Structure 1
């Protein structure tokens, strides 16, 4: 990382794609700033006014100020030409030349999986998110969970990773060391304390108007080999992330939900339109990403002890008084749970190996 790398970010008129173009032409920020105005206009086909901004080193004062800011706040700036830069992120056509990291930058280059979804998370979504990450933690070495630290599924994914002792990375739509939303400052601190990282492409001098979310989502999509959407309505940021992941040739996966649930309308649409692979278990994710083909498979992490059932799960399981299958309607009458609560509890018991779902929405105790 050099001051020239950050200076590119602060040169007026040179945006993300302009920086990528210049790097393709010259190979490094140092060579860009060493080029003559004529070379910049002819070789890189820059407009003369932009070439003059580079020759005059218009962004250097701000770049030096930014480096001081990073040193003061323990922020690590990483350029795309540095060996520490995440290799998957560098593959996309609009990669940020400089990213700013707090925590362990190595996590960005490990076996990353992005998990995103709706802010209006349901009990079903929380249970699925938690169980998927718990099972992945048991099976996948060097796993890192990536999300956006937003309310809902994002926060659930980070918390599940922390609970499973898996590093987790938060991609932020703001400059560090700020946290958006501020309510998740404690989660962010736990992520750093447990070997994770926070990352953004925004410098401390970026004027922020709350418009960086789409740009942030492209980084979430690009950092990982695959992206899992746990819950999403028929519009929203998680569907944008899914589209970007598909454009970047990442594996897009989605958790199906009931056709009557608004929170699953987006995920069901992705699956129906064959834009996402349906995910029912951690094994589905492992197979989809080819992680089961690694030379050292599966058992690299010892199996954890089975999680005890919650009081509500125990109460529902007690309704199975015989070995015969029970319908959802019967279980609702016997247990008194609301439909949404019942669906989440049934899924939890199924993932825990206590129940099996049969055709016709019937369940049998194992």
Structure 2
């Protein structure tokens, strides 16, 4: 690969110690092109930047270019998309964050600038309650806004539950990594990560040559928060990475939501505290979330069962009840229809097979919206 390639200079800029978005903007305004930063004299760079430290020394800039050359070769070989902060495809939401990465490395097919992106994070010790909420929340969201993207950190617990629920619901999902794209942690999530490459993607600020460090996991939380319109905390103990993400999201003036839990539950204490301190809004469903975000729902075409020849009179009655009530259990439907349970169950199975209703945990049935 040609050493004069602009990509090499862009990567090299990120390898200069202490380089950040504000400094990079200042230098680019002064020099015009990134490559000029590596060709001008050290004293000029120090004067423009106001830094007197040796970060712009010739040997340090040369070392940064050498690292960048290796990374550019890795990028080309593995079909990775580099996103410099001046590129049009760089996530526009992140540009609003003062500590956004200068460069992102991306493998996937999702548009990182779609109109609706939601981050869902939580404890690594997810309970059935938390996982169930992820599944229901994301499934319901997909019915109303099928172009939404779900972002999380591909970690154990709530993160991986959110990614898998998104894949199951047909939504694209982005995993923000705390390491380069040459590896995957935790490795047990590799199969899910592979699926995400064609239904979302993997995103990181780290080059392949960087060692995995525990501090990276905290640093990547700012990308999870900054990449999205809102962050949903599903479960968290009194301390944890999810609460850090909530604080970062709030600092970015993003909406923060939390799922409440019982006061004695260890992994609901963090969420309950966020809600009690007005650091997060309480939500229990996708409908709550959509209303709080003031997202205008698309116009729905009313399903008219009577137009479907395969829907009989009893099935049509059940659909009307579910439309009016929102959801029902079998016992309730037997009362509303005055029909025996086996007969109602048979009708429910037929309606589910036809894709007109969906079954949920607890024996609850709802119409497909």
How large is the Cα RMSD of the aligned pairs?
A: 2.8
Distance of aligned partners of 1:48 and 1:243 in 2 relative to their CA distance in 1, 3 Å threshold: closer
Quote how far apart the aligned CAs of 1:267 are: 0.4
Of 43, 51, 60, 2:56 maps to 51
Of 105, 110, 117, 1:112 maps to 117
Deviates more, 1:164-173 or 1:100-109: 100-109
**1:250 matches 2:254:** yes
**1:149 matches 2:154:** yes
**1:277 matches 2:281:** yes
**1:26 matches 2:22:** no
Unpaired runs of 5+ residues, structure 1, are 303-316, 324-346, 355-366
- Cα distance in 1 between the residues matched to 2:251 and 2:59: 32
Quote how far apart the aligned CAs of 1:206 are: 0.8
- Cα distance in 2 between the residues matched to 1:224 and 1:238: 15
8 Å Cα contact 2:22/2:98 also seen in 1: no
Distance of aligned partners of 1:222 and 1:134 in 2 relative to their CA distance in 1, 3 Å threshold: same
Instruction: Tell me the TM-score normalised to structure 1 length.
Output: 0.78
Q: For 2:171, what is the secondary structure of its paired residue?
A: coil
8 Å Cα contact 1:147/1:171 also seen in 2: yes
Q: For 2:203, what is the secondary structure of its paired residue?
A: strand
Quote how far apart the aligned CAs of 1:280 are: 1.6
Which residues in structure 2 correspond to 1:59-208 (within 5 Å)?
A: 59-104=64-109, 106-107=111-112, 109-193=114-198, 195-208=199-212
Larger RCO, structure (CA 8 Å, separation 6 or more): 1
Structure of larger gyration radius: 2
Distance of aligned partners of 1:352 and 1:272 in 2 relative to their CA distance in 1, 3 Å threshold: farther
Which residues in structure 2 correspond to 1:208-219 (within 5 Å)?
A: 208-219=212-223
Q: Deviations over 1:62-101 (max 9, x none)?
A: 1111110111122211111111100011211111111111
- Cα distance in 1 between the residues matched to 2:271 and 2:193: 27
Aligned to 1:312: none
Quote how far apart the aligned CAs of 1:353 are: 5.1
Instruction: Tell me the TM-score normalised to structure 2 length.
Output: 0.77
Distance of aligned partners of 1:36 and 1:298 in 2 relative to their CA distance in 1, 3 Å threshold: farther
8 Å Cα contact 1:37/1:48 also seen in 2: no
8 Å Cα contact 1:255/1:279 also seen in 2: yes
Aligned to 2:324: none
- Cα distance in 2 between the residues matched to 1:351 and 1:203: 47
- Cα distance in 2 between the residues matched to 1:106 and 1:30: 28
Quote how far apart the aligned CAs of 1:129 are: 0.9
Aligned to 1:5: 10
**1:259 matches 2:263:** yes
- Cα distance in 1 between the residues matched to 2:295 and 2:333: 40
8 Å Cα contact 2:7/2:72 also seen in 1: no
Q: For 2:107, what is the secondary structure of its paired residue?
A: strand
Quote how far apart the aligned CAs of 1:210 are: 2.9
Question: How many residue pairs get matched?
Answer: 311
Aligned to 2:340: none
- Cα distance in 1 between the residues matched to 2:164 and 2:70: 35
Q: For 2:179, what is the secondary structure of its paired residue?
A: coil
